[in-house]
Structure 1
Amino acid sequence: MTTQGELLSPTPGLAEVLKGGSWTQPTCPCCCSKNVEPLLLVQLADSVDPVTKKWIISRLEAPVRDGGAALLVHSGEDDAGNVVILSAPRCTQLRVTEDLGMWKPYKDGNMVAFSYDDRNSFRNIDDMQVFLTLAERQHVVKYQLGSLRAKKDRTIPGVPESRGVLLARESIFRKLEKVGVIKTVIALHDQRQLADLAKAWYSGWQLLGQPLDSIQAYFGTTVAFYFSFLDFYTWALVPPAILGVVLTLFPFASGTAAKASGGEGKEEEPGLPVSGLMVQAMFSMLWSTLVMELWKRRTAALSYRWGTPLLNERYAEPRPGYTGPMGRNPITGRPEPRFSEWEHKLRVGLSVPVVGFFLGLVALGMAAFYHFEAAARDFHKSEGTWLSVPLLYVPSLAHILYTNMLGSLYGNVALGLTEWENHRDESSFQNHHTTKVLLFSFFNCFAVLFHIAFIKEDLALLRKRLASLLIVTQLVNQCTEVLVPYLVDTFLSDGAKKPKEDDPEEDRIRAQGRLPPFPGLFPEYIELLVQYGYLSLFSCVYPLTAVLLLINNVTEIRTDAFKICRLFRKPSSAPVSDIGVWQPAFEVLGFVSVISNCWLLLLSPGVRQFCQEGGFSSRNALLFAILVEHVLIFGKMILAFVIPDEPAWISLKKQEFEFRSMQAFNQQKLQR
């Protein structure tokens, strides 16, 4: 039985095979080349029928007009092996670049949407390794795999008819994955380019600053936008960190802060002066607005530089999981599945109650935890024996087990719901899936803090809980993200990384299959969103939040870079023009932070004491807090409106593109 790492037979060596010239020979003269660059490795099932493999290869190398993918294919060691290696000829790469709506440098130096018919007017068009980045070339191959569809109803050769029936226009690649013929697809590393990137990224002594263009060229825009945002956000933490230190060490208001005394069971703890709380709350509102608005401008500049300001996803082939009765795309005229918009929106709407149900289960689990924790504490007080001590830990352990099981169940439900909603575009699918998981994760992370702040109204406990979360979580994260990866890479992976004496190139390719698949950037974005929530929602309670986050993120940049370069397979993702659904998620948190900070001010003992001394009733204080909240939200909206989302030069470039497109369209009409 072949394991995941044993991708290739020991003989003959893969390096010898690739040099043997057994690649598909392109028919287009401009695509012929002596050297073919291996881009993707497709691992088939161990017991794949040779007939099935030959049919797959025939579909991969056939022209698009004949229902193929127009790729360059190498069968590995032989036609009976379980490996297929893929590349793409020049014309296929250029046509997919046009289909995606990628922008490339024109002969006048400007970035322009690529046109295949006008290809000779673009710079570096004769050198595909310069014209397209490695990430873009690999995505071309993956895009062609996803667009490979059956022309008519048929059975996959070598697969039992009960499992291998292909319907007309059904995704061949997705069907082969479902029936177990295709096990995995691996984007191959370029070891020389990876070594250069590692040296400039995390192997040196630099603390901040990323080689963003090199990251984009090697890993793609999805990864590059994440690291750009992480870098931008880390620098943005400097001002609130300085303010937090100043407010903590040098309170500028005279007198001591009011004590956080309250109802029964609440501890007394000194807090900030009233003026300090107001400064911190006001600064948090301005900071969160400026950070996101300036990030939008940076996003626009980066997307233009990387050629993704206006992607044509709606005109491309639908995602492989998209189903529906066959029809024709009204824009492109291509045959594709059609699914009514109202039914799609109905399914999206019906998913909302299911998500709400799971959020209710989270709240129910939290309520049960508080109830049983109080019961266990009362029982221990009444009994007072060592036998009752373990009962104090049972509610916490049960709650942890409950949330983990619920999170695993919800992850499967969220994915199934998003599949059921039947999204045509890959970005729409990813955004809806991410939103579902994001809501659950956010509720899971912040429900306890909101309960302590606004239900129990215990700011001293909130401050302690927030400090412990920041310190303990960061220590655990640094241990798991630095120490564990280092030990795995140094000891457990050492034998796998040593090249063989007879064929080191083959061993390097084998080692890529032994690495675990890249888990995606969702956990990394969630970590940043939770950080942002701690800072924007509760910073007036614990001003040193930004300091701890800044220290964490300085090392986070390096450890994330190390992990993606050394510990996982090379990720392959579609070009993107921004960070997707995470942008509105951070913006929503910014608006919620205004409400949160206003209410925390109202609940703070210092403000309550100030109101009592000034003769303000609780009702008048509440009305004043609501008024301030609305004024701050209105100010936040004005500030967001005043700051343009794009730099002026980006807007000008897009207007020039629209004008050229209109001129080209009019010229085509005159020629007809």
Structure 2
Amino acid sequence: MEGSPMERMKRTTLVHPLPQSSSSSPAPASLHASDQTKPACPLRPSMTLQGELVAQIPGLAEVLKGGSWTQPTCLCCSSNNVEPLVLVQLADRIDPVTKKWIISRLEAPMKEGGAALLVHSGEDDGGNVLVLSAPRCTQLRVTEDLGMWKPYMDGNMVAFSYDDRKSFSNVDDMQVFLTLAERQYVVKYQLDSLRAKKDRTIPGVPESRGVLFARESIFQKLEKVGVVKAVIALHDQRRLGDLAKAWYSGGQLLGQPLDSIQAYFGTSVAFYFSFLDFYTWALVPPAVLGVVLTLFPVGSGVTHNAAAQEPDEDEPGIPVSGLVLQAMFSMLWSTVFMEAWKRRTAVLSYRWGTLQPTERYAEPRPGYKGPMGRNPVTGRPEPCFPDWEHKLRVGISVPVVAFFLGLVALGMTMFYYFEAVARHFHEDGGTWLSVPLLYLPSVAHILYTNVLGTLYGNVALGLTEWENHRDESSFQNHHTTKVLLFNFFNCFAVLFHIAFIRQDLALLRKRLASLLIVTQLLNQCTEVVVPFLVDRIFSDGTKKPKEDDPEEDRLRAQGRLPPFPGLFPEYIELLVQYGYLSLFSCVYPLTAVLLLINNITEIRTDAFKICRLFRKPCSAPVSNMGVWQPAFEVLGFVSVISNCWLLLLSPGVRRFCQEGGFSSRNALLFAVLVEHVLILGKMILAFVIPDEPGWISLKKQELEFRSMQAFNQQLQQ
């Protein structure tokens, strides 16, 4: 015997030399023929076949020492090494028949409905681990399906074509041609694209739970019935250590290795950190203005109480001229900031090869349902769902979301009502026994908000599933929009109530300052300090590799990390920050200063968190921030309205109108006029600034011209 299964796996180290095709020493025909007829889990070839292969193929003996990778099914996939990319955790006591069937579907060619992947079965047939990689041809074909751009021989970025693959730079070296994040997404893409060819039952699973219908997603079904517990993109510890040193642990305070982040974590993560970095630097001008307006109020012409010759206690501390300057600057800053970010997005997406993704030509998302038909563009069989019914379902979701927003407003109204009742009861005749009643409305409102948020999260996900979106990006955008509206309304409803219903700008300033200071400190603590302590104190022992099987345990240790929660909490935090700054900065000019201090540390803490505390995320290549970009733009337009009305409600502006003989009606009309003029100016400024640099537009036109020429040449032939 060769030892325990763990020891055999340790010797193979999961990076195995593969057979090389050579014209001088061709691989035997039996090797490639056996790929079509071999058993589902070829961990132990027969001794006769093993001896023949070892004698003729250098390096194969090392592969066959333990559990081995399945071999490629075509000649173009030969490679020196097999790189472990994705770990699939199966049920603890999986039936070996089920595992063999899964492997057979994963290794089958795409033309036979398989995923065309390389599979390492772990310890043995009954183990609960699968390690996946992808051969070269699979990686190249998925690159074309995703519409990714890659460097052409002339140095330009061009949409990749499999038929013209020899004209692209470094196409023979997949470690250079595709980033680690892209190679891992290729595997995930193939898993999501794996569909049942006909109605059948999953082997080893009871028929009551394991029925697969034609074109149903196999891996989604396996996850639903508990056969697949998790699909985990594997960390490369050496690269991760180098990235961490250049990113957050090397003492570097300014700048980020964005290209390295994109290569390791993917474009979605890279776009978030690029936006966080860009936004942090953009906070410098409003922070400087806020400091000037706060430290030099006399030079700015403070509005004084005419009777007492002292500053009005109700005045938020900013003169009328300062309020106007802050409001005008906020409008200009938000517009220039977003337009400049769009241009930066275009440059980054071109550099990262995601300028024009073609998701609409790819396989539909696993949850897409409908009667079987054919895609009118690609001709592939897939579920077909009427577009009118999809839009109708999206429309029906709108009043449901509005109903929950109404429940948020109802909860806030009831909070203020019962708070006033408790306060009056205590003031009228209460004793020390009635003091706890003063805190009861706040506690009840917090509980109400948390319960409602949890309920709405489930409803939003269910609604988005019911809407039946074909593309994964469309599904994520609609789901994010629903949750975003609820969170935004929940965060800003109280501030809008204080500003425009109670019209108490002094209270608004105090509430905003407390939110900026307390909330950000709590966020930093809960997001990093607590997970770090848990990671160090409670989980450190489970992550250390065991002495007898370090390679196996390193892989399993990654599965014990919590799943990455996604970028939604990070983006919503930035959006709330942006709302504080753009909507209410004229009331509290030091907002930008506090946000700047917070974000300088936020970059490093977020980097540490994604590198150390969670599993490695695996996401699709994207060309921008998705739905978050229009969310920031819409907030910029709302800020114009908010600042105009805050100016109108300011005690200094009211006094100025009274002294100037303006009636309330005329002041209101003037505020509406100013608001419309500022919005028009914002739209003109956004139109004047191009969304992408001129050279990017030229690259697009050049690509379109080349495509037209190639098409004409095909017609002439």
Same fold (TM > 0.5): yes
Partners of 1:180 and 1:508 lie apart in 2 by: 24
The one-letter code matched in structure 1 to 2:674 is V
Deviation at 1:12, TM superposition (A): 3.4
> Is 1:641 matched up with 2:687?
yes
Structure-to-structure mapping, 1:30-41, within 5 angstroms: 30-41=76-87
CA contact (8 A) 2:84 2:131 kept: yes
Partners of 1:189 and 1:259 lie apart in 2 by: 64
Partners of 1:160 and 1:499 lie apart in 2 by: 36
The one-letter code matched in structure 2 to 1:60 is L
Structure number with bigger Rg: 2
CA deviation map 1:130-156 (0-9, x unaligned)? 000000000000000000011111111
> Is 1:666 matched up with 2:712?
yes
> Is 1:563 matched up with 2:563?
no
Q: TM-score normalized by structure 2?
A: 0.90
CA contact (8 A) 2:535 2:613 kept: yes
CA contact (8 A) 2:147 2:356 kept: yes
Contiguous gaps of at least 5 residues in structure 2:
17-61
Give the number of equivalent residue pairs.
659
Partners of 1:227 and 1:80 lie apart in 2 by: 42
Partners of 2:79 and 2:341 lie apart in 1 by: 43
Residue 448 of structure 1 aligns with which residue? 494
Residue 562 of structure 2 aligns with which residue? 516
The one-letter code matched in structure 1 to 2:136 is R
> Is 1:16 matched up with 2:62?
no
CA contact (8 A) 2:314 2:505 kept: no
Deviation at 1:493, TM superposition (A): 3.1
Pick the aligned partner of 1:617 from 659, 663, 667: 663
> Is 1:534 matched up with 2:580?
yes
The one-letter code matched in structure 2 to 1:644 is P
> Is 1:425 matched up with 2:466?
no
CA deviation map 1:418-473 (0-9, x unaligned)? 00000000000000000000000000000000000000000000000000000101
Alpha-carbon distance change, 645 to 282 in structure 1, aligned in 2, over 3 angstroms: same
Deviation at 1:10, TM superposition (A): 7.9
Residue 346 of structure 2 aligns with which residue? 300
Pick the aligned partner of 2:137 from 91, 95, 99: 91
Residue 6 of structure 1 aligns with which residue? none
The one-letter code matched in structure 2 to 1:396 is S
User: What secondary structure sits across from 2:7 in the alignment?
Assistant: coil
The one-letter code matched in structure 2 to 1:198 is A
Task: Write out the 4+ residue segments of structure 1 that deviate beyond 4 Å after TM superposition.
Answer: 252-255, 258-261
CA deviation map 1:168-227 (0-9, x unaligned)? 111111111111111110100001000000000000222231100000000000000000
Residue 217 of structure 1 aligns with which residue? 263
Partners of 1:259 and 1:604 lie apart in 2 by: 14
Residue 144 of structure 1 aligns with which residue? 190
Deviation at 1:267, TM superposition (A): 6.8
Alpha-carbon distance change, 312 to 69 in structure 1, aligned in 2, over 3 angstroms: same
> Is 1:189 matched up with 2:189?
no
Deviation at 1:84, TM superposition (A): 1.1
Deviation at 1:260, TM superposition (A): 13
Alpha-carbon distance change, 168 to 603 in structure 1, aligned in 2, over 3 angstroms: same
The one-letter code matched in structure 1 to 2:164 is D
> Is 1:108 matched up with 2:154?
yes
User: What secondary structure sits across from 1:336 in the alignment?
Assistant: strand
Partners of 2:364 and 2:518 lie apart in 1 by: 45
CA deviation map 1:232-266 (0-9, x unaligned)? 000000000000000000126565335799xxxx9
Alpha-carbon distance change, 602 to 134 in structure 1, aligned in 2, over 3 angstroms: same
Partners of 2:670 and 2:85 lie apart in 1 by: 63
Structure-to-structure mapping, 1:54-65, within 5 angstroms: 54-65=100-111
> Is 1:491 matched up with 2:537?
yes
User: What secondary structure sits across from 1:660 in the alignment?
Assistant: helix
User: What secondary structure sits across from 1:389 in the alignment?
Assistant: helix
Residue 228 of structure 1 aligns with which residue? 274
Deviation at 1:271, TM superposition (A): 1.9
User: What secondary structure sits across from 1:48 in the alignment?
Assistant: coil
Pick the aligned partner of 2:291 from 236, 245, 248: 245
Alpha-carbon distance change, 267 to 159 in structure 1, aligned in 2, over 3 angstroms: farther
The one-letter code matched in structure 1 to 2:486 is F
Residue 588 of structure 1 aligns with which residue? 634
User: What secondary structure sits across from 1:186 in the alignment?
Assistant: strand
Deviation at 1:316, TM superposition (A): 0.5
Q: TM-score normalized by structure 1?
A: 0.96
User: What secondary structure sits across from 1:43 in the alignment?
Assistant: strand
Residue 393 of structure 2 aligns with which residue? 347
Pick the aligned partner of 1:578 from 609, 614, 624: 624
CA contact (8 A) 2:316 2:509 kept: no
Alpha-carbon distance change, 619 to 171 in structure 1, aligned in 2, over 3 angstroms: same
> Is 1:165 matched up with 2:211?
yes
User: What secondary structure sits across from 2:662 in the alignment?
Assistant: coil
Pick the aligned partner of 1:392 from 438, 444, 449: 438
Alpha-carbon distance change, 501 to 219 in structure 1, aligned in 2, over 3 angstroms: same
Q: Which is bigger in relative contact order (C-alpha 8 A, separation at least 6)?
A: 1
Structure-to-structure mapping, 1:498-509, within 5 angstroms: 498-509=544-555
Taking only the aligned residue pairs, the percentage that are identical comes to: 85
User: What secondary structure sits across from 2:89 in the alignment?
Assistant: strand
Partners of 1:269 and 1:606 lie apart in 2 by: 7
CA RMSD of aligned residues (A): 1.6
User: What secondary structure sits across from 2:356 in the alignment?
Assistant: coil
CA contact (8 A) 2:293 2:300 kept: no
Deviation at 1:496, TM superposition (A): 3.0
Alpha-carbon distance change, 305 to 388 in structure 1, aligned in 2, over 3 angstroms: same
Residue 599 of structure 1 aligns with which residue? 645
CA deviation map 1:257-296 (0-9, x unaligned)? 35799xxxx9735521100000000000000000000000
Alpha-carbon distance change, 103 to 255 in structure 1, aligned in 2, over 3 angstroms: closer
> Is 1:133 matched up with 2:179?
yes
